[in-house]
A and B are shown apart, each in its own frame.
Chain A
């Protein structure tokens, strides 16, 4: 399973974050929130200074690009459990 993080942060900001935190996974930038809108995750003025951002959500997508598991947090402070994601990923057939 390949984790890919997406936010409105610019590539430079994501690169800093990735370096500081030692992340090895891919981080993509959606500065105009186009893809965020496509996935209907836009949180209007949800960010600091009233910027539009994504609401937190995770999608597990298989190799045929079908969604196999989703997580929409009700509370931004509650993080998705890693074990839930892994269980969903384990249930997928080998590609």
Chain B
């Protein structure tokens, strides 16, 4: 549809943000070149990037739940969590730029800010968890394959002392275990 727009009609048309037609349709009007600020006014600001950032940050945290179901390739879950957190950071940054950088109009600033803060908190927790879960001592002097396991005698759940030798003693069925698996765990469960 072609029509000659008069100057005062143009300024009235762009005064209100909620326009009945899309940006694409406006461009087709034979109204001469639209000024840059008018184009920004027409464009509907979107905070979808911040929503994506929030969703990614939430996924980074939910990765921790995956450990409970013990899927294959568990070792990659921490890295997946970290990657999701970092990508979330990028989206949040993009979203905030979209909403706050001039010459955007004031739309979605409050919701965008709230979502961004939550996302950043989730990212911080995900990143902190990643590093603290890996903050383990080197254990360079721990016995390696082929070395002798150091002897010990420790109390079992009844308080009775049990030595490493005794762990190889025959069980109730008369058979001795061919191996003992020592599982050192953190405790405080």
Contacts and interface: CB of A to CB of B under 8 A. Distances in A.
B124 to A, nearest CB: 18
B72 to A, nearest CB: 9
Interface string B40-77: 00000000000000000000000010010010001101
Given A77-B133, A78-B74, A63 B149 contact: no
Interface string A12-31: 11110110000000111110
A9 B133 CA distance: 20
Contact of A70 (B75, B77, B142): B142
Given A51-B188, A78-B75, A68 B152 contact: no
Contacts of B152: 30, 34-35, 38
Interface residues of B, number: 50
Contacts of B146: 66-67
B137 A69 contact: no
Interface residues of A, number: 67
A57 B158 contact: no
A1 B179 contact: yes
A85 B179 CA distance: 11
Nearest to B132: A76
Contacts of B67: 77-79
B133 A75 contact: yes
Interface of B: 64, 67, 70, 74-75, 77-78, 133-134, 136-137, 139-152, 154-159, 162, 164, 167-168, 171, 176-189
11 contacts: A4-B182, A9-B189, A15-B157, A28-B154, A28-B162, A30-B152, A42-B137, A54-B187, A57-B139, A59-B181, A61-B179
Given A17-B189, A56-B186, A76-B186, 20 more contacts: A7-B187, A13-B187, A39-B142, A39-B143, A39-B150, A41-B137, A41-B184, A53-B187, A54-B187, A59-B149, A60-B182, A61-B182, A65-B164, A66-B147, A72-B142, A75-B133, A76-B134, A78-B67, A92-B179, A95-B177
